Chains A and B, each alone.
Chain A
Amino acid sequence: MNNLHVDALVIGGGIAGMQAALDLGDQGFQVALVEREPSIGGKMITLSKVFPTLDCCSCITTPKMSAVAHHPNIKLFTYCEVQSVDENGAGFDVAILKKPRYVDENKCTGCRQCEYECPITVPSPFDRNLGSYRAIRVPFSTAVPQTAVLDIDNCLLCGKCEKICPVEAVDFTQQPEIFGIDTTAIVLATGFEMTDLGAKKEYGGGELPNVIDPLMMERFLAPTGPYGRVLRPGDGMEPTTIAYVQCAGSRDQTQGIEYCSRVCCMYAIKQAMLISGALPLAEITIYYMDIRTFGKGYEQFYQNAQAMGVEFVRGKVASIREDENHNPVLRVELTEEGRLIERTHDLVVLSLGMIPTASPQVFGLLPSSDGFISLPALNASPCATERPGIFVTGTASGPMDIVDSIITAGAAASDASAYIRSKIGMRVEQSEVAYA
């Protein structure tokens, strides 16, 4: 592949990356969006509903994904990972690894015949390993691009997919390729991961079957989830008492994560409200230190949850064990009553925190003491990094919710545009506008 030249390279195809790419593309710049997964959509496409409006998450993400795919100024590179970023005077030379899909993207029409024929089933990380998919598959029903990808590590090489494909797109001979993009500006939108479920040994995450992480609960609650219902993974029982342990991966010196992850209070309350709808008889308790419902409409959301009967108990959960029926037993100090109690629930969700996905070193940047990318001009240009021309948006720059991700994406686009213009030094001819 020849070096592609673009005005801006957006790294990461989650909501922040997509929004930044759209905002830059709408202004007439040529954008390349690189995403390491086989589809864009990030974490947002895996969620059920979003707070505080309880909009269907898929309904608001898929139009963005579609807009990115169809935008005349955006080139999408999925299943690709950035290897290195070097300055070249006018901008950056970025080396990108294109991982082999073993499917020819130009031929594949997403018909999924290969998927139906494949004899191998593997646990699906999209469904947090609660559901499964085939070794060759279109990643999920609303994936963009709707192109199949083969997980070669789990492949038998039986060739059934190759035989059935009507356009002969399966290609076992594909190799990883390195190609280059030369760009004026870079926007990092590499997103977050949840803190490790098993990080706090006292909580039994990863060992106790009915102690789960919030993304699993999202999959239970999502209409397109693996079960379509809320069940506890241990034995498939419908839980009647559910506990949320707040600050399970944040504000905790023992885990080395002292910061607040900002979204956990809201997502716990959101899930509690959705569970109340799905399981009207369930009793939900949220064990917290401080309830941080600070955003627009968030305090009302909290008040609604209380009115709906969600129980809020102030106390930092000390430990979780299980009884003989695998029911988690929480040990917690009720700070408002000054006594220690043990309480049994059917299911416990640890409100895990956020850590950055990408290590800043690949981009020649240093992390801050909290691990996220350092922002040297927080109160002047909140999207600027230490390297001129590299901007950061979304959860790569710190924990934040969807609204703030979209806003910082717009801000990064704005900063990047000013930078690009100053570098190019000329008026950018706008070819096509995509405003509706």
Chain B
Amino acid sequence: MPDEKLKIGVYTCYCGGNISHTVKCEQVAKLMEGQPDVVISRTNMSLCSDAGQSQIEQDIKELGVNRVVIGACAPSLHEQTFRGTVMRAGLNPYLYHHIGLREQDSWVHACDCEGATCKAVRLMAAGVAKARLLQPLESIQLRAEKQALVIGGGVAGLRAALDIARQDLRVVLVEKSPFLGGRMAQLETVFPTGEDARELLHRLIEQVVAHPNITIFTQTEITGVSGYVGNYGVQLLQHSRGVSDEDSEKMIEACQRLVPDEFNYGLSERKVIYRAYPGCYPPSAAVDWEYYFDHPLQVNGKQVVLKDEPKTFDVNAGAIVVATGFDPYEPRHGEYGYAEIPEVVTLPQLIRRLALKKDDEIFQWNGHPVRDVALIHCVGSREVEGVDEPHEDGQVNNYCSRVCCTAALHMTEELHQRFPGLNIYDLYQDIRTYGRGHEEYYRHAMENCVRFVRYHGAERPEVTTAPDGDSHPVLVRVKDSLTYNEELEIPVDLVVLAVGMMPRDIDNLVKMLKVSRGNDRFLLEVHPKLRPVETAVNGVVLAGTAQGPMNIQESLSAASAAAAKVVSLLGQGKVELQPFVAAVDAEKCDGTGACVEACVYEGAIALETFEENGRQVKRAVVTPANCSGCGACVSVCPNRAIDVQGWTLAQYEAMVDAIAMDIVDLVEAA
């Protein structure tokens, strides 16, 4: 290649008159003709037309043109077209350079033909100068593992896994707890359809379990991630189930240790050998190793202590889907009386409680009948800095948790259906029933005589125990902006807190995957508008509430969208990246390492040790898959040993020299 004689073809387009009415294309072409290494310089009425493109192809094939410079309309319009032209003629598509002579010349200097023409000459000369230094480039092809890792077995993880598997890719689905289903399993009916949550969930789980491309690992955590897009190496740790299907019933019976049941948000207890809920998947019981503590079991007259024998193993994945879900906000002790007053409960807890007491005809709480209920919105959401107390990490949850207004009003409808005489006070800031079919819940609530009380964020309602002898156990004080800030004191039997969503504690995973979190501490997408399910890490995508509060329908859509991205990435078994990445000239590199320091992209460049002439030397090595082509390394290298391929410093210097040349020089150089 270096010995091949340069044969530059220069083409100046009339652009149907758009360029030629100001820029004297013939003069430009004539001047280029005489430039060193130029073997042909033509004009054309319309290079992008079939005829124009054919001319270029012909010159490549017949004249041996091996560098192409085209002066025409803006590259955004036809650069791809001409790359195709060049490729069809058998030339590397990166041996062509495009100069914009229309939007940036003829159209903006319409009154200055001479100036526009001089400018065109210099720009074309710059193009020729760059063309002399162009090298053929190949897009970076990485072999991609046709397997995806999905982290999280809730509705989003399940949906993503199924959608990916259906496209002939293998999926490894990993779930930290012993059971699939996530938070959707903890619901009873879902809005806006009123369908049964677990029925919907089980239909999805059945499809996932039945799919031959999906392998499920429960009680499994990620302990290490290495590699890059197309080739991630993931280390997994799987705990033992602890009991086999044959002896699990005996073990469960023998088990005496009880812990709060997180499925019911602590409202009930369960054994440390357990099933999450009737009909759960996998149906086998599991040992909760976190709370087992070598609890001895008396089985058949013998003492048995169960042991966890964790296994570590590795899987390869071309892409990773993060679907780790959310936690409902847990109010602080005393926040609206939570954990201090027994009649204060969160909405998720109420849902579980109503399910546990499905057969109760009378609504009871803490031994008293419930006739009046206060429902408070925005608990743990829409917090204001300086007004609300920060959480452990010093932040406030200033975001809206999106689903709670509809969830709360859905609950008022459920309560009204079950306990028709119930009085409900709804204390809110704004009713955000934004979705399709959601506004109906607001209307029904009003029709069902829910009393709406509107408070301002800075002055939140106060919940206190009522004095002894009062008709009700709890008092709620609130300033109602709908009645001109009158302070109301509402006696109630139950306070329900519509709590928001919190991101889960996945610090370790975040560090391993090198993904970012937003100000709201949920996982951050690379562009909130354009690329809502991708992260800045190539090959890692987000599905569901790990990214932010959303309802089931929205989680399903996000999971499917994430799956579509994974399939585009891995479907062909290889990942193709543009070649505009950094490349090191090992002969010039002396291992200073300034490039490594300047680089902000994880894993893009590193110093590696090589043997050279019997000595150990350090040289910079680029990992193209992780390189963005920003060039921060280029500007700091003391030896000019690194460049961004296709956009080298030498090329720019040559272009600058051509622009700086006087036209007289140009004429003489011809």
Contacts and interface: CB of A to CB of B under 8 A. Distances in A.
Nearest to B574: A433
Interface in B11-54: 14-18, 45-46, 48-49
- By secondary structure, the A interface counts as loop
Given A111-B17, A299-B400, A383 B560 contact: yes
Residue of A70, A375, A398 contacting most chain B CB atoms (<10 Å): A70
A335 B484 CA distance: 8
Residue of B527, B557, B558 contacting most chain A CB atoms (<10 Å): B557
Given A109-B46, A433-B572, A296 B548 contact: yes
A359 interface: no
Interface in A8-34: 23, 26-28
Nearest to A418: B166
Interface in B427-466: 430-440, 443
A427 B619 CA distance: 44
Contacts of B388: none
Interface stretch (A172-180, A206-214, A232-240, A287-295): A287-295
A380 B564 contact: no
Contacts of A111: 15-18, 46
A396 to B, nearest CB: 12
B192 A27 contact: no
A271 interface: no
A409 to B, nearest CB: 7
A379 B49 contact: no
Contacts of A344: none
B427 to A, nearest CB: 14
A382 B556 contact: yes
A398 B436 CA distance: 7
Nearest to A427: B168
Contact of B435 (A66, A262, A403): A262
Given A411-B560, A435-B576, A378 B528 contact: no
Interface stretch (B1-9, B60-68, B529-537): B529-537
Chain B: number of interface residues, binned into ranges: 35 or more
B190 A379 contact: yes
A382 B431 contact: no
A112 B102 CA distance: 13
A294 B18 contact: no
Given A303-B384, A436-B578, A414 B439 contact: no
A27 B568 contact: yes
Contact of B77 (A146, A298, A336, A338): A146
Interface string B396-424: 00111010000000000000000000000
A251 B439 contact: yes
B203 to A, nearest CB: 7
A293 B522 CA distance: 17
B647 to A, nearest CB: 15
Contacts, number: 207
Residue of A296, A397, A399 contacting most chain B CB atoms (<10 Å): A296
B577 interface: yes
Nearest to A288: B430
A404 interface: yes
Interface string B373-402: 000000000101000000000000011101
A239 to B, nearest CB: 27
Nearest to B484: A338
Nearest to A20: B564
A314 B18 CA distance: 55
A83 interface: no
A260 interface: yes
Given A303-B398, A435-B575, A407 B561 contact: yes
B241 interface: no
A335 B456 CA distance: 13
A9 B548 CA distance: 32
Nearest to B80: A70
Contacts of A23: 561, 564-565, 568
B532 A406 contact: yes
Contact of B163 (A109, A402, A414): A414
Contacts of A398: 435-436
Given A167-B46, A418-B167, A435-B575, A410 B560 contact: yes
A417 B195 CA distance: 27
B482 interface: yes
A409 B167 contact: no
Given A50-B529, A403-B528, A109 B431 contact: no
Given A23-B564, A53-B529, A260-B438, A417 B167 contact: yes
Contact of A430 (B16, B80, B572): B572
A379 B553 contact: yes
B481 interface: yes
Interface string A418-436: 1001100001001001011
A378 B17 CA distance: 55
Interface in B548-587: 548, 552-554, 556-565, 567-569, 571-572, 574-578
B433 A260 contact: yes
Contacts of B431: 290
Residue of B168, B431, B556 contacting most chain A CB atoms (<10 Å): B556
B193 interface: yes
A79 interface: no
B10 to A, nearest CB: 20
Interface in A270-302: 290-300
A398 B435 CA distance: 8
B200 interface: yes
B372 interface: no
Nearest to B383: A299
Interface in A302-320: 303, 314
A313 to B, nearest CB: 12
Contacts of B433: 260
A295 to B, nearest CB: 7
A357 to B, nearest CB: 16
Interface string A373-391: 0010011111100000000
A415 interface: yes
A414 B438 contact: no
B446 to A, nearest CB: 12
B203 A414 contact: no
A166 B17 contact: yes
B562 A167 contact: no
A413 interface: yes
A407 B484 contact: no
Nearest to B46: A109
B308 interface: no
A105 to B, nearest CB: 12
A258 interface: yes
B529 A295 contact: no
Contacts of B569: 435
Contacts of A292: 430, 432, 434
A111 B431 CA distance: 52
Given A66-B76, A109-B15, A430-B571, A291 B430 contact: yes
Contacts of B527: 60
Given A296-B520, A298-B400, A381 B556 contact: yes
A87 interface: no
Interface string B50-84: 00000000000000000000000000110010000
Nearest to B51: A167
B306 interface: no
Contact of A294 (B402, B481, B572): B402
Contacts of B574: 433
29 contacts: A109-B16, A109-B46, A109-B48, A109-B49, A110-B77, A166-B46, A259-B439, A260-B435, A292-B434, A293-B400, A296-B522, A296-B547, A297-B518, A297-B528, A300-B399, A303-B398, A370-B436, A378-B193, A379-B193, A380-B200, A380-B204, A404-B557, A406-B561, A407-B533, A410-B565, A411-B560, A415-B560, A421-B167, A435-B569
The 4 closest A-B pairs by CB, nearest first: A410-B561, A111-B16, A26-B568, A411-B560
Given A27-B167, A260-B435, 10 more contacts: A53-B529, A107-B49, A109-B46, A166-B46, A290-B430, A294-B432, A299-B398, A335-B481, A370-B436, A410-B560
